[in-house]
Structure 1
Amino acid sequence: MTVYTNEKNSNLNVAQVSQNMGVDESLIPKMPEDRTVGPINYMFMWLGDGVNLGNMTLGSSLIVAGIATLNIFQTFAAAIIAIGIISTVFALNDRLGYKTGIPYVVQLRMSFGLKGCVVSSLLRGIPAIVWYGFQSWIGGTALNEIVKIVSGGAFDNIFVCFVILQAVQIILSLYGFHAIKWVESVISTVIMLALLYVFVLLLTSHSAVIMEKWVYAQGTWGLPFFAFIMMFMGNYAAIFLSAADYSRELKSGISNGKRSFLYFLPILMAYGFVLCIGAMLASATGISNPVKAFAIVINNSYITFLVSAFIVMGAIAVNMVANIIPPTYVITLITKVKYKVAVTISGFLALCACPWVLVQDSSAEGLGTFILIYSAFLGPIVSILLIEYYVLRKQKIDITELYKQVGQFSGYNPCAIIAMLIGAGAAFLKVELAWIIGFVVAGISYMFLMKYAYKDSRFKKGTIFE
């Protein structure tokens, strides 16, 4: 049986096949009647994902030793270019998941095979675990500020707060997208209002130093400008790589163009605003850690309490969207454990990621380097997936074959593995432009390898090179 569409009966058959193959129910295709996320909630989801302290730290990283590497105009020009590319790639890569309801880890089998997808899925899961821990530590730092205020300074232990927050997130994530939908809608609205207050406060109280150190800075339109675009995209590279994990939850009947808009608008609003505040905070205080900078700028215990509460909620919001579901699916795929067990494992792994190292003032630049390095691998993977689906298969794929342990996609596809390594190798030649170099080189390499190498490969079945 070949399944090319998202029709109800076809998906039902796929679900039956996948269950017979021992796949956890969280990985079977989502049927239209099981999708609960509407367009508005979907936009709030990406708004909540963008409004977080990790992105704010990237904004603050623009200020190095009191000098801005990019001024305000260069910063937003880079941001708009990056968001346009992100939205386009998002809408292209989410289409298979939206049409068929399959998750990213199953989509990978189309190019890499059942065994080959283990490595490529880990390259998505590991950065998510690191970001999960990073966001939780930021949230734990803010939670510690709250407890200090409430206890009158008697309690001061960030690590304990970090563990408590992690436990809360594990419990919330047990409910999957049912929890994400309402958490994101509430939290993203509250946080945007809170940050608007901070934005006004910075303008009224610290405008002179912000103008001097960031707005009127000379900056550059050279390599650092393009490196920031790549860093910006690298920050989203892991998310739009696993676009199918999100689009499979979105209600059916939404055109490709409209889905692209559902990404572009909230990312532009949230990311642009948060980057701006991060750069303003760093300019005003000289501190890269946003939580510590907030405590200096807002020297009022009541306001600090409220802002810290919003930071905690922001950490939960971004983790539930970007950093919990993808590694959970990876763990479920590799270990065969149930979804709730995999969610719990993801939470414990994030505890072991040593996120306190990444939030130090001396580590702000290191965070950017980390993004550029792992995006060197993620650019090639998303390029291979897009070439496979749009060029080689003309948007036609036998979904049931993806769930068979012995079939067309069993084993691994050497063309995909080699192309990914070639793309990543090329990306490391100029790490500041890692994503785009890896994306282009891997895509070209994959086309040539699929056409000329491994003549009898079963992965060519159903492609233009069959």
Structure 2
Amino acid sequence: MSTNLEDNMKKEIKFDHSTGLDESLNPKREEERTVSPIAYAFMWIGDGVNLGNMTLGASLVVAGVATLNLFQTFAAAAIAIGIISIIFALNDRLGYRTGIPYVVQLRMSFGVKGSIISSLLRGIPAIIWYGFQSWIGGTALNEIAKVVTGGSFDNVAICFVVIQLVQIVLSMYGFHAIAWVETVASVVIMLALIYVFGVLLNSHSEVIAEKWLHAKGSWGLPFFAFIMMFMGNYAAIFLSAADYSRELKTGISDKKRGFLYFSPILIAYGFVLTIGAMLASATGISNPVKAFAVVVDNSYITVGVSAFIVLGAIAVNMVANIVPPTYVITLLTKMKYKPAVVLTGLLALCSFPWVLVQDSSAKGLGMFILIYSAFLGPIVSILLIEYYILRKQKVNVADLYAEDGPFAGYNPAAILAMLIGAGAAFTVVELAWIIGVVVAGISYILLTKYAFKDSKFKKGTIFEK
């Protein structure tokens, strides 16, 4: 992008910050953006090394046999991570250059009222993930409690609530507390996982080789379905990329930001997927916490590994599952940031996350990802087409905050395109994400050009008369 356009965008966001919204939703000023590139990279490592992603690796093993072998697993992962990084760098650009959050970015395509629907489709999955990660952390905390109390305490529900309360308190301190937690967690957890990797290779290499490494696997639908599931797992995060990039220091090029996504995700995700599949192959258990207890038959080591799992659950929630729904609640209810954080945590307590993963199978988690990503794929497609094709990266940010301005109401073309894309995605749920992206994108262009001829949302686009 040219320097002139960057200068114009800086001018566009110099407006009265008395927008009627909570201060947390206003554009981030340059002096408020203090997250360094290194801290940002560690944040994504911390997000990647979590039990949800490990469970995704475990989901490859069904009835004791892997649906993809080692090479197929990493081929699928490499393809998915490359696509994820590109979409991240594309969709974070508006937030990075203007400082606006995702819920305000949505207004560009869906309108002020229409953005309510699309923001809920991001916020609700995040709350369920929040609850799932907390439940995983609560399960690990319970393992610690059993060792410490000699087995007299065994109550996952209480541990689940304790974990949730801790996260609510931490998240009230804002994004900078999140970045600090992520930096510490990413280093500690990676060290713990290297140890577990060594244990698995030393004691279970033969059974892992038989059930995963030398499995026949498939290059057909299961292979592409895993790519879609992989991307669906990140769909919610890169959809709200603006929520993160608006905190990053200014002056970083698009290519460098893309690298800040690709490298951490490759390192973290590749490692935890491997361990998840190895654990499931060695034990036949899809819940990594319970599989750890079987593999590591030492109470002291169990406590240490479980502590790292607790830290990992908190780390991923702090990045991926607390900020986006909090912004959605703040936007919809006009709450201040801290009360919205509390409400987000309470809603996550009621998400029944234990339903998604049973001891014998993690199919519930995979299906959950595929279903909600059927809606998120179309939304990200609409946002990218709006910004890059229809508006040529020219948006008056002040207009996005004007309740009765050019983006007031809802854009029927965007809502209809989203529904068409999601409907098409459900025709082949294993490929839901990519189908939704393509169909919604094409539909949005055609609907914007040929339908709703008097729509005010054509103003400023290439279809403006």
Question: What interval of TM-score do these two structures reach, taking the shorter chain for normalisation?
Answer: over 0.9
- Map 1:359-398 onto structure 2 (within 5 A): 359-362=357-360, 364-398=362-396
**Structure 1 residues 116 and 265 mapped into 2: Cα distance closer, same or farther (>3 Å)?**
same
Partner of residue 319 from structure 2, selected from 318, 321, 324: 321
Matched with 2:459 is 461
Matched with 1:111 is 109
Partner of residue 312 from structure 1, selected from 307, 310, 313: 310
Matched with 1:225 is 223
Q: Which amino acid aligns with 2:14?
A: N
8 Å contact kept, 2:91–2:242: yes
Matched with 2:444 is 446
Aligned-partner Cα distance in 2 for 1:240–1:6: 26
- Identity across matched positions, percent: 76
**1:21-67: CA deviation from partner (whole Å, max 9, x where unpaired):** 31100000001110011100000000000000000001001000011
- Map 1:155-170 onto structure 2 (within 5 A): 155-170=153-168
Aligned-partner Cα distance in 2 for 1:316–1:4: 39
Structure 1 position 13 matched with structure 2 position 4 = no
3-state SS of paired residue (1:361): coil
Partner of residue 174 from structure 1, selected from 172, 175, 178: 172
**1:283-327: CA deviation from partner (whole Å, max 9, x where unpaired):** 000000000000000000000000000000000000000000000
- State how many pairs are aligned: 461
8 Å contact kept, 2:106–2:383: yes
Aligned-partner Cα distance in 1 for 2:51–2:8: 41
Q: State the Cα RMSD in Å.
A: 1.3
8 Å contact kept, 1:11–1:31: no
8 Å contact kept, 1:97–1:243: yes
**Structure 1 residues 342 and 226 mapped into 2: Cα distance closer, same or farther (>3 Å)?**
same
3-state SS of paired residue (1:30): coil
Q: Which amino acid aligns with 1:367?
A: L
8 Å contact kept, 2:53–2:269: yes
Aligned-partner Cα distance in 2 for 1:97–1:450: 24
Deviation of residue 359 (structure 1)? 2.8
**Structure 1 residues 392 and 351 mapped into 2: Cα distance closer, same or farther (>3 Å)?**
same
Aligned-partner Cα distance in 1 for 2:89–2:441: 18
Partner of residue 97 from structure 2, selected from 94, 99, 113: 99
Deviation of residue 155 (structure 1)? 1.1
Aligned-partner Cα distance in 2 for 1:79–1:121: 28
8 Å contact kept, 2:284–2:360: no
8 Å contact kept, 1:324–1:346: yes
8 Å contact kept, 2:285–2:361: no
**1:411-461: CA deviation from partner (whole Å, max 9, x where unpaired):** 000000000001001101111000000000100000011111111111111
Aligned-partner Cα distance in 2 for 1:389–1:362: 44
Structure 1 position 79 matched with structure 2 position 77 = yes
Partner of residue 353 from structure 1, selected from 351, 356, 379: 351
Q: Which amino acid aligns with 2:448?
A: M
8 Å contact kept, 2:49–2:189: yes
8 Å contact kept, 1:134–1:359: no
**Structure 1 residues 340 and 410 mapped into 2: Cα distance closer, same or farther (>3 Å)?**
same
8 Å contact kept, 2:59–2:361: no
Q: Which amino acid aligns with 2:446?
A: F
Deviation of residue 5 (structure 1)? 4.3
Matched with 1:46 is 44
Matched with 2:120 is 122
Aligned-partner Cα distance in 2 for 1:98–1:6: 14
8 Å contact kept, 1:8–1:32: no
Aligned-partner Cα distance in 2 for 1:57–1:360: 11
Mean CA deviation greater in 453-462 or 377-386:
453-462
Aligned-partner Cα distance in 2 for 1:63–1:86: 24
* Structure 1 residue runs without a partner (length 5+): none
**1:362-393: CA deviation from partner (whole Å, max 9, x where unpaired):** 55111101100110000000000000000000
Matched with 1:141 is 139
**Structure 1 residues 68 and 252 mapped into 2: Cα distance closer, same or farther (>3 Å)?**
same
Aligned-partner Cα distance in 2 for 1:4–1:29: 18
8 Å contact kept, 1:36–1:250: yes
Q: Which amino acid aligns with 1:224?
A: P
Deviation of residue 150 (structure 1)? 1.3
Aligned-partner Cα distance in 2 for 1:13–1:380: 31
Deviation of residue 10 (structure 1)? 3.6
Matched with 1:422 is 420
Aligned-partner Cα distance in 1 for 2:370–2:9: 41
8 Å contact kept, 1:6–1:99: no
Q: Which amino acid aligns with 1:176?
A: G
Matched with 1:66 is 64
8 Å contact kept, 1:383–1:439: yes
Aligned-partner Cα distance in 2 for 1:127–1:50: 17
Q: Which amino acid aligns with 1:169?
A: Q
Deviation of residue 149 (structure 1)? 1.3
Aligned-partner Cα distance in 2 for 1:88–1:23: 31
4+ runs deviating over 2 angstroms:
3-14
Q: Which amino acid aligns with 1:178?
A: H
8 Å contact kept, 2:13–2:396: no
3-state SS of paired residue (1:114): coil
- Map 1:188-337 onto structure 2 (within 5 A): 188-337=186-335
Give the alignment's TM-score, normalised by structure 1. Answer: 0.97
Matched with 1:34 is 32
Aligned-partner Cα distance in 2 for 1:252–1:320: 22
Structure 1 position 344 matched with structure 2 position 345 = no
Aligned-partner Cα distance in 2 for 1:130–1:454: 36
Matched with 1:184 is 182
